[in-house]
Amino acid sequence: MADTLATHLAGIKHIIIVLSGKGGVGKSSIATQLALCLVQGGNKVGILDIDLTGPSIPHMLGLDGKQVHQASSGWVPVFADENKNLCCMSIGFLLQSKNDSVVWRGPKKNAMIRQFLADVCWGELDYLIIDTPPGTSDEHISIAEYLKDIHPDGAVIVTTPQTVALADVRKELNFCKKVKLPILGVVENMSGYVCPHCEECTNLFSTGGGEAMAQEFGVEFLGRVPIDPSLTLMIEKSNDDNATLENGMVYYFTCHEVDPPALIYMGKDENENEELIKYGWEEDVCRFKKS
């Protein structure tokens, strides 16, 4: 099975898994922004949504109601932009209605995740971003097991500043260590609120918890991402019944220069020798920044 997956995913240069032990911290929004920013930097990117009971990626990308097509070589993912630089796979595309519930036990979830990896025609990608459900359950164990011989680049851990979230995210960091999944770093999401009128960022909760936790575990702190109402507005415009391409978040990120420059992941050098995985955020800025 490992050889089959390795062959099927051979065209993907980098695999990044977005994780958190806590629900509602914004994993899907971070995964979406990361993917869009990488596309904006000239990369071909795929997003795999393995949150089987609560898929959010189709809505984030304005793809509600889209369907996956079957080809002779497997499932063709849904493309989010005209240039086909961003593709997506989610169980949300396989349900008759977005309100349908998925009531599955572990073995069926495991089989579905493997099918997403083995039967989707991902093609040549610079990055595959994997969005996950909260916790350390079947989905997380399955994705770590299926990818262990493919050696994903690692996990981006998402938290919010509150103590209750940090407690659960610590469990996710320990999970990564147990399954030998590299940790690329920690993002503190919802760290402050950007006023839609004056654009001043105000702290609504405590701050600094994500950075302290990263130091505690000896991993990189990638930065803080504030709550920005304009992001929510773009998502809602993308899914409005009268939506046009120019209204949506995908169009904004892929057709406009994002300031500051939106790219955090550098990868390896051309000889695949020296690790050049570096990260950085401008302080209290909500966009990924190239180091």
188 bridge partner residues: 159, 224
Q: Are strands 86-90 and 125-131 parallel, antiparallel or unpaired?
A: unpaired
Could you tell me if 132 and 143 are in contact, meaning their C-beta atoms sit under 8 angstroms apart? yes
* Greatest mean pLDDT among 80-84, 110-114, 163-167: 110-114
The C-alpha torsion from 103 through 105 and 111 to 114, rounded to 10°, is: 90
Provide the residue ranges of all domains of the chain, joining segments of one domain with +: 2-255
Evaluate if residue 286 carries a pLDDT over 80: no
Mean pLDDT for the stretch of residues 105-116: 93
Mean pLDDT of the chain: 80
User: What Rg do the C-alpha atoms of the chain give, in angstroms?
Assistant: 18
State the binding site for [4Fe-4S] cluster: 195, 198
pLDDT digits (tens, 9 = 90+) for 236-263: 665 554 444 444 455 444 444 443 333 3
Q: Residue 287, Cβ neighbours under 10 Å: how many? A: 19
pLDDT digits (tens, 9 = 90+) for 148-205: 999 999 999 999 988 888 999 999 999 999 999 999 999 998 888 878 787 777 887 7
End-to-end Cα, the chain, rounded Å: 37
State the binding site: 21-28, 195, 198
253 bridge partner residues: none
Q: CA 78 to CA 130: how far, in whole Å? A: 15
* Predicted pLDDT of residue 274: 37
The 8-class DSSP code of residue 44 comes to: -
Q: CA 85 to CA 92: how far, in whole Å? A: 20
At the fourth CATH level, the homologous superfamily of domain 2-255 is P-loop containing nucleotide triphosphate hydrolases (3.40.50.300)
pLDDT digits (tens, 9 = 90+) for 206-238: 778 898 999 999 999 988 888 877 777 776 665
The residue with greater pLDDT, 287 or 239, is 239
State the binding site for ATP: 21-28
58 φ, ψ (degrees, to nearest 5): -55, -40
* Predicted pLDDT of residue 146: 94
* Predicted pLDDT of residue 7: 83
Q: CA 141 to CA 138: how far, in whole Å? A: 5
